[in-house]
Structure 1
Amino acid sequence: MSADELIVAYLDDELDAAAKLAVEDRLNRDSAFSERFEFLASNSVSMRAAFTALLDEAPVERMKSNLSAPGEIKQNAALLDRRRFFAAACLIAGAVAGGGLVRLLSSGEAASSQNWRAVVADYMQLYSADTLSNLSDDPAVKADQIARVASVMELPLTTQGLMISGIPFKRAQLLTFNKKPLAQIAYLDPKYGPIALCVTHTSAGKTDFQKEERLGMNIIFWASADHSFMVIGRNPPDQLEEIAGQLQRSLNGLG
């Protein structure tokens, strides 16, 4: 189990006595683990709400046709306990423990540009100001993160080029979608909370700005010749478009 899965199993009383003692011992000697335990124990984020969209999009009819024996697939979220939802969250969201951003889709569905935005929205739905507020502000750490993202995504990203006026840059990290790298560059707006610029590779060609809303968040998305971009957050659409425009100008000619 990852650290988060272990904590959730402990909270759900699904560990044996020895495993419980091991968790309690780790709580006493591992401050990071203890902080994560307190966060998950008190977290009010609804996994069910965050992943309802994924359940609704599940290819039920295709799954039924692939069953070797007769059976009935029930689309009833109530049958999924918290731990199963958490496992889905770890697969889709990558979680703090470091897993990848993954979605279980058919190859046809995964090819759709719309699906990667849906996955990112599911992931960002789990974010709060607390998710980003305690991250390191060391310029060297941030520069190293950006350099790693720039190398993998084949984009000459710079710390200065990714700055947004009045909105602190918090983290750059690499996730995975459809077996391809997906970069997330996260910011924390003092008023509206987390914002992310996300980038993945594409061969679909250039597109201009487009807007949509998912799970209560606004999205501005566009594409260059080789990359798809999106900016997502709870900011008003016009303000988010201004932010996207600023970032696009710094990315002009890249990819």
Structure 2
Amino acid sequence: MTTKQTIPSDEDLTAFIDGELTAEEAARIEAMVKEDESAAERLELLARASLPFKQAFAPLLAEAPREKLQAMLAAIPVQESAKSSPAPVFASRRRFLGALAASLVAGIAIDRAVIGIGARFSAKDENSEWRAVVADYVSLYTPESLAGPVPGRDDQAAQLAGLDEKLGLSLSPEAISLPGVDFKRALLLQYDGKALAQIAYLDPETGPMALCIVKSDKGPKASDLERRKGMNVVYWSNATHAFMLIGQAAADRMTAIAEGVRGRVT
């Protein structure tokens, strides 16, 4: 049965993946992930987005029997979906990490298709791929995920400064402000080895909204609109970065908001 506990924050899940929690905190997160499908899906997405979860399971590299783990790797169906698997999502993740450890011990190069990314997206469209991963992640947000007071300007500036350092941008609270939508937090994630900024907002009318930025050398592209996971996505790029604004607001409102922020962040 799904628990009624609040889904752990991104910071808690990231710390869990990286092995930075105490034993008691880690046990709490693990129990919640086993019982709550939403928490399990969020943990899965954070790990799939190339966050440094390897350190959290470093003991597997030293303790896991090589032959047994190689057999586990060979037994994983390449195209098996999470929904069709009878095992819990978290259990599946633990089996995957064990297989990953085996591949590292044996010196095997793991193709991206084995971990389920290449099989889902076309490698020819890098920008489409990162938008799909972000949409999967943002679709897990609820208004409760972003509850709490709006950070003050100084706090917002401090959070944005951490993004600037990794992305080579100069973002201010004024530049990323959205009309009628509350800033909630700025997170630095990682996708495919590259820093990914996620600025999360809460629209009182339609719920969570996010402005996401990643470095890109694909060249400038005019803004366009698409639908992903039941949300509207406005995306564009310049010579150095790709941007996307995603939320459940109507398409015309999303486009208008995106055009405003586009002129300020580029």
Please give the TM-score of this superposition, normalised by the length of structure 1.
Answer: 0.65
Mean alpha-carbon deviation: is it higher for 108-117 or for 173-182?
Answer: 108-117
Q: Offset of 1:169 from its aligned partner?
A: 0.9
Q: Secondary structure at the match of 1:245?
A: helix
Aligned length: 197
Partner of 1:75: 80
Paired residue for 2:262, among 244, 248, 253? 248
Paired residue for 1:9, among 12, 30, 33? 30
Paired residue for 2:160, among 141, 146, 163? 146
Q: Offset of 1:241 from its aligned partner?
A: 0.6
**Could you say what the CA RMSD is over the residues aligned between the two structures, in angstroms?**
3.7
User: Given the superposition, is the C-alpha separation of residues 122 and 110 from structure 1 closer, same or farther in structure 2, using an over 3 Å criterion?
Assistant: farther
- Distance, in Å, in 2 between the alignment partners of 1:133 and 1:68 is 41
Q: Percent identity?
A: 28
Paired residue for 1:199, among 197, 202, 213? 213
Partner of 2:251: 237
Paired residue for 2:242, among 228, 231, 241? 228
Paired residue for 1:173, among 166, 171, 187? 187
User: Given the superposition, is the C-alpha separation of residues 147 and 87 from structure 1 closer, same or farther in structure 2, using an over 3 Å criterion?
Assistant: farther
**Residues 1:105 and 2:112 aligned together:** no
Partner of 2:177: 163
Q: Secondary structure at the match of 2:200?
A: strand
- Distance, in Å, in 1 between the alignment partners of 2:72 and 2:202 is 49
**Residues 1:209 and 2:223 aligned together:** yes
Q: Secondary structure at the match of 1:126?
A: coil
**Is the Cα–Cα contact under 8 Å of residues 5 and 86 in structure 1 kept in the other structure?**
no
- Cα deviations by residue, 1:191-243 (Å, 9 ceiling, x for unpaired): 11111110001111000111111111110101000100000001111111111
- Distance, in Å, in 2 between the alignment partners of 1:235 and 1:109 is 30
Tell me the amino acid that sits aligned with residue 208 of structure 1.
A
